[in-house]
Amino acid sequence: MLYVSDQLTILDRWLEIRMSRSGGPGGQHVNKVETQVELRLDVAGCEQLEEPTKVRLIALGGSRVTKNGVLQVVCGRNRERLANKAECEERMRELLLQALAPPPKPRKKRRVSLGAKIRRVDAKKAVGKKKSDRGRQYGDDG
């Protein structure tokens, strides 16, 4: 069971934990012990998540979501299985919390004020005048 917040706790039937051999430092120990942890959440089938939350979670997951709608989080940084499992659960919890948060309000389009348009054009004219003054002047034999 994965505790996410007061409103949501994911049951074990929607979660799957797999262990595998991890790469990286560790010498012989790495070749013998399965310390890498893969935590999988069936987003598409999970009845505890509402549809808008599922859509946001799949979008947040990106390439970590399979075609079947399963979100995968893999952790193999630590040498201990329990530390990797805790890190996987924390990453999954963060993704779920982001998906549960309501989307931000859409930005209202505003018109550019007339004063801002005039200031922009005046600034462009000033730069053009400065550059044209750098050229040859009439009467220069230079």
pLDDT at 119: 98
Mean pLDDT of 95-114: 90
- Residue ranges covered by each domain of the chain: 2-100
- For residue 90, the model assigns a pLDDT of 92
Contact 36, 22 (CB under 8 A): yes
Residue 136: both structure tokens together: 């040859």
| Residue in 14, 10, 33, 130 with CA at minimum distance from that of residue 82 | 33
Instruction: Indicate the pTM of the whole model.
Output: 0.66
Q: Hey, which CATH number is domain 2-100, 3.30.70.100, 1.10.10.10, 3.30.160.20, 3.30.56.10?
A: 3.30.160.20
Per-residue pLDDT, 20: 87
